[in-house]
Amino acid sequence: MFGGMVSVAWGNRRLTRPNRLAMVDARTQLQVLLDALRARTAVLTRRDDLPSAARREVDAVVMEHVFIDATLARAATADEVDRLRPQLHACLVTLEHAAESVGLNLPATQPFAGLCSIDPQHGAATSSPDGDGLCRACIAAIGTEVELPVRMVAKDGRAVPFDEIDLSSPSHDHSPFDGEGDR
């Protein structure tokens, strides 16, 4: 175990500061997108009216999510992380089509749409008293002493709210979230 920690520390030491910042940016941004993907799959799998073909598509997305998550954990550079974005976008497109089969609008180009505006990992949003899209737990916390901090991710080496990230991949000429390459 100690040898593994030394190896990781030695590898991280070799990264220059700009490379470390790029890696943190890429990893935190992809992770919030993965969390949004997971929340969308949960919304769809709970639907009793989801047709069997759409359910198979959602199940395939769940498996792809596991693969992307495992690959993200092993990624050593920002470029390796960025190369996962098209796969993640393809999953979002698949979920968009599955959602359409039950009348839900989950656009692949807006991965946080329909999810909690505090943290998309919380899941599906409902309207709060002030009109924001919040999950049930966040709505229940309104009026209590529980603070509801918006999830932050790294962007250009600083913390920003998750919904301020650039959905395009720096390693591509076009955004995998701009609709190009959709089925």
- 64-122 pLDDT, tens digit each: 999 999 999 999 999 999 999 999 999 999 999 999 999 999 999 999 999 999 999 99
User: pLDDT higher for 166 or 1?
Assistant: 166
Of 40-44, 75-79, 86-90, 138-142, the range with the lowest mean pLDDT is: 138-142
**Cα torsion angle, 17, 19, 22, 24, sign:** negative
pTM: 0.80
List of residues 6+ apart from 131 with CB closer than 8 A: none
Query: How far is CA 13 from each of CA 9, 17, 155, 163, rounded to the nearest angstrom?
Result: 6, 9, 21, 31
